[in-house]
Amino acid sequence: MKHNVLTIIFVFASALLTANTTMAQSTIQKCQDADGKWHYGDYAADACAQSIIESMDGESGLKTGEEGLPPTKEEQEAQAAAEAAEEAEKENRVEQRARENRILAIYESEEQIINARDQRVKAAMDSIEFNNTMKTRLQERLTGFEEQAKNESLKEKDRAALQERITALKSQIAAYDSATAAKEKEMQDIETHYNGDLEFYRYAKEQRAQGS
């Protein structure tokens, strides 16, 4: 009787061991490498050592567990882009603060900016007015010479000298036109520059008032 009991216990233990071994063998691991290829086996393939490992039930095919994996290439690129954007934002804030400090160090008030703008604009306008006055005088002389050139009784020598004067006057008039255009451009640049300084000065003062 005792012998039978031992036999039963041995058989039961053997069956239990066999069942556990079968269950262990029925568990399959799989992973997907960086190229998207799937690998199967009791252990993760070397190519998938850093990839996700899924423990699968061999009979049901249900996922029973998952290990973490490093970020994908897309995630790494997104992270790098986010860090770069954050760093750029920091640099922009530093540059912005430096610009605020400069504008507040240069000007003591809005009136100072306005006066500087108006003085330089007036100087440019005075130059334009002078150029236009000189151009008008040259045009009057040019008109007179051109009228003289119409005289058919002029000697060839006198006509050639007169033509040289006409050519020189036209060149001088063109030079004044060019100088006037440059001054007009300069005046526009002055207004743009100082108006920009005025706007940013107001912004900088507001930021300081808010304690930013």
- Looking at residue 163, what is its pLDDT? 95
- Looking at residue 72, what is its pLDDT? 87
- Looking at residue 145, what is its pLDDT? 94
List, for the chain, all residue ranges whose pLDDT scores fall below the cut of 70: 1-69, 212
Cα gap 117→67, rounded to integer Å? 68
Provide the β-strand partners of residue 54. Answer: 30, 66
Residues contacting 125, CB < 8 A, separation 6+: 187
Provide the β-strand partners of residue 31. Answer: 39, 53
- Looking at residue 40, what is its pLDDT? 64
DSSP secondary structure string for all residues of 88-126: HHHHHHHHHHHHHHHHHHH-SSHHHHHHHHHHHHHHHHH
The label of the residue with tokens 């998207």 reads: 36
| pTM exceeding 0.85 | no
Amino acid at 44: A
φ, ψ (nearest 5 deg) of residue 66? -155, 135
Domain spans of the chain, in order of start: 25-70, 94-209
